[in-house]
C-alpha cells in the first residue's frame, strides 16, 4: 500500500543526491569485490517507490500458487522480474537514480555508467537458498567493469537470506563457467574452500545497499521468516562497455534481450542501455 505521507520532493532529491565515497571504500570494493554502504536511502524514498515495485512483481509473478515442493532450486530461490523500468514510470525513476549510478561509476573507476538491466529478486517467505554463482557468466561484456546494486526495501536479518559474498573471489577467477544451479552451489563451494576464500554474510540494516562486481561469487541463504525479502537490483556497466562474442547460451539470450541491434565490438548503447550517470568534465 502506498504511503501517502511520503515526501515526494525529499525522496526525489535523495534519489539523485551525491553519496560521497572515501578512497578507502573504493579500495576496499576493488580488493574484496563487494561493499555494503549504510544509509543510502531513507524511509521516505522507500515509501515512494517500494510499493510500486512490489505491485509490479506480484502482477508479473508466474509462480504464484505453485507449491515450493514442486519448484526447482532456482524457482525456490526468488521471484525474478526484469526490466521494471520499462513497465512503470515510478519504477523508472528509481532505476534511474543518479545516486546509485554515480556510486557504481566511482567504484568501477569509469567516466560513467549505462543500464545493463534492472530486476527484482523477491525471496518469498519460506523461499529456498540461492546457489553460488557469478552474475557475469550471463553477460556478454568485453571487460569486468560491471557492478550490481542490491537494494533491499527492508532490514534483512540472516534468517531472511541476505547476500553472502566470496571475498576476493573476483580476483581468483573461480567458477566462471558455471551457471546458477545445484551444481554451481556444490562446485563453487568446494573451490572457495580450496582457495581459502572468506565467506562474508552479514545482516543488512534498513537503508543499507550493497554493490558487487560481475565476477564476485555470491549466494544467499533461505528465507525462514514469515515475510518476503523484497529486493530491487540494478546492473550497471561502464559507459564505454563493448559487446563481447557470447560464450554460452545464457550470454546469447542476454545479448538479444539487453543489447538488441548491437554488433560484437560495438559500444552497448541500444535503447535498452540508457546512460544513467556521466561525470562532468572539470
CB-CB contact of 274 with 151 (8 Å) = no
Element spanning 171, H or E: helix 169-172
Residues near 80 by beta carbon (within 8 Å), at least 6 away in sequence: 119, 120, 121
Q: Which three cell numbers stand for residue 30?
A: 576493488
Rounded to an integer, what distance in angstroms lies between the CA atom of residue 212 and that of residue 204? 14
φ, ψ (nearest 5 deg) of residue 147: -155, 145
What are the pLDDT tens digits along the chain (282 aa)?
Answer: 334 445 655 566 899 999 999 999 999 999 999 999 999 999 999 999 999 999 999 999 988 888 888 998 988 889 999 999 999 999 999 999 999 999 999 999 999 999 999 999 999 999 999 999 999 999 999 999 999 999 999 999 999 999 999 999 999 999 999 999 999 999 999 999 999 999 999 999 999 999 999 999 999 999 999 999 999 999 999 999 999 999 999 999 999 999 999 999 999 999 999 999 999 876
**Domain spans in the chain, listed from the N-terminal domain onward:** 8-257
The reported pLDDT for the residue numbered 76 is 85
The reported pLDDT for the residue numbered 105 is 98
The reported pLDDT for the residue numbered 127 is 92
pTM of the predicted model as reported, rounded to 2 decimal places: 0.93
Rounded to an integer, what distance in angstroms lies between the CA atom of residue 254 and that of residue 25? 31
Q: Which residue in the block uniquely carries the three cell numbers 567516466?
A: 111
The reported pLDDT for the residue numbered 3 is 43
- Residues 178-209: tens digit of each pLDDT: 999 999 999 999 999 999 999 999 999 999 99
CATH H-level, domain 8-257: superfamily? q2cbj1_9rhob like domain (2.60.120.620)
The reported pLDDT for the residue numbered 4 is 42
Mind giving me the DSSP string for 248-263? SHHHHHHHHHHSTTPP
Amino acid at each position: 500500500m502506498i504511503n501517502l505521507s511520503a515526501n515526494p520532493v525529499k525522496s526525489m532529491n535523495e534519489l539523485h543526491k551525491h553519496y560521497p565515497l572515501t578512497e578507502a571504500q573504493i579500495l576496499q570494493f576493488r580488493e574484496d569485490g563487494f561493499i555494503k554502504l549504510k544509509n543510502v536511502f531513507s524511509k521516505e524514498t522507500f515509501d515512494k517507490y517500494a510499493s510500486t515495485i512490489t505491485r509490479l512483481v506480484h502482477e508479473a509473478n508466474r509462480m504464484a500458487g505453485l507449491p515450493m515442493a514442486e519448484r526447482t532450486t532456482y524457482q525456490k530461490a526468488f521471484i525474478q522480474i526484469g526490466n521494471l523500468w520499462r513497465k512503470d514510470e515510478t519504477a523508472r525513476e528509481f532505476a534511474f537514480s543518479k545516486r546509485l549510478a554515480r556510486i557504481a561509476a566511482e567504484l568501477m573507476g569509469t567516466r560513467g555508467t549505462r543500464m545493463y538491466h534492472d530486476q527484482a529478486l523477491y525471496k518469498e517467505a519460506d523461499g529456498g537458498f540461492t546457489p553460488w554463482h557469478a552474475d557475469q557468466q550471463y553477460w556478454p561484456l568485453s571487460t569486468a567493469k560491471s557492478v550490481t546494486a542490491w537494494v533491499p526495501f527492508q532490514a534483512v536479518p540472516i534468517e531472511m537470506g541476505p547476500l553472502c559474498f566470496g571475498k576476493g573471489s573476483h580476483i581468483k577467477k573461480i567458477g566462471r563457467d558455471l551457471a546458477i544451479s545445484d551444481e554451481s552451489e556444490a562446485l563453487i563451494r568446494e573451490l572457495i574452500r580450496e582457495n581459502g576464500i572468506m565467506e562474508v554474510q552479514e545482516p543488512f540494516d534498513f537503508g543499507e545497499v550493497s554493490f558487487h562486481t560481475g565476477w564476485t561469487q555470491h549466494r544467499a541463504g533461505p528465507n525462514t521468516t514469515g515475510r518476503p525479502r523484497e529486493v530491487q537490483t540494478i546492473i550497471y556497466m561502464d559507459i564505454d562497455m563493448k559487446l563481447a562474442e557470447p560464450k554460452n547460451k545464457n550470454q546469447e539470450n542476454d545479448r538479444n534481450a539487453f543489447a538488441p541491434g548491437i554488433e560484437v565490438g560495438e559500444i552497448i548503447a541500444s535503447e535498452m542501455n540508457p546512460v544513467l550517470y556521466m561525470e562532468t568534465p572539470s
